[in-house]
Amino acid sequence: MCRRTRVILIIVAAVVCGAVLIGPRLFRCYAYYRLVVCSPCGLANLSGKVSKLNIPFNSNMPVFSLGYAQFGVRPDSISTIKCTMYAGTEVVMVCDEYKILFVTPSSSNWPSTDSNSVPSPFIPSIFSEDPFGYNFGVRAASATSKGYAEIFFLHPRKFAEYLTLAAAKSQNVMNQNGIGVFQTEYVHGLVRFGQIKNPGCYAVQVFAEDSNICQDIYVISNEPEKSKQVLLSLLASYKFLIDEVPDEGRLHELIRTQLEKHDKFQVGE
Instruction: Tell me which residues of the chain have a pLDDT lower than 70.
Output: 1-21, 58-59, 76, 85-89, 109-129, 267-269
226, 200: one domain: yes
97, 156: one domain: no
95, 143: one domain: no
134, 238: one domain: no
Full-model pTM: 0.82
Question: Residue 10: in which H helix or E strand, if any?
Answer: helix 3-32
Neighbours of 27 (CB within 10 A): 10
141, 262: one domain: no
Q: Is 88 part of any domain?
A: yes
Q: Is 38 part of any domain?
A: yes
Give me the pLDDT at residue 82, please.
81
Give me the pLDDT at residue 88, please.
63
251, 200: one domain: yes
Q: Considering 136, 170, 204, which residue would you say is the last residue of a domain?
A: 170
Give me the pLDDT at residue 4, please.
52
Total domains in the fold of the chain:
2
29, 56: one domain: no
Q: Is 80 part of any domain?
A: yes
184, 216: one domain: yes
Q: Is 213 part of any domain?
A: yes
**Which residues in 137-174 are b (16+ Cβ under 10 Å) and which e?**
bebbbebebbeeeebeebeebebbbbbbbbbbbbebbb
Q: Looking at beta carbons, which pairs linking 53-61 to residues 24 or more positions away fall under 8 Å?
A: 53/180, 53/181, 53/182, 53/191, 53/232, 53/235, 55/182, 55/183, 55/184, 55/232, 55/235, 55/236, 56/232, 56/236, 57/184, 57/236, 58/233, 58/236, 58/237, 59/237, 61/233, 61/237
90, 192: one domain: yes
Q: Is 208 part of any domain?
A: yes
Q: Is 146 part of any domain?
A: yes
Q: Which domain holds residue 142?
A: 3-43+128-170
Q: Is 81 part of any domain?
A: yes
209, 150: one domain: no
DSSP collapsed to 3 states, 95-124:
ECCEEEEECCCEECCCCCCCCCCCCCCCCC
Give me the pLDDT at residue 9, please.
46
Q: Give first-to-last CA distance, the chain, whole Å.
A: 84
Task: Indicate the DSSP class of residue 127.
Answer: G
104, 11: one domain: no
Q: Is 149 part of any domain?
A: yes
With CA atoms as reference, report the closest residue to 121 among 160, 91, 89, 152: 160
**C-beta separation of 236 from 185 below 8 A:** no
150, 211: one domain: no
Q: Considering 117, 149, 170, which residue would you say is the last residue of a domain?
A: 170
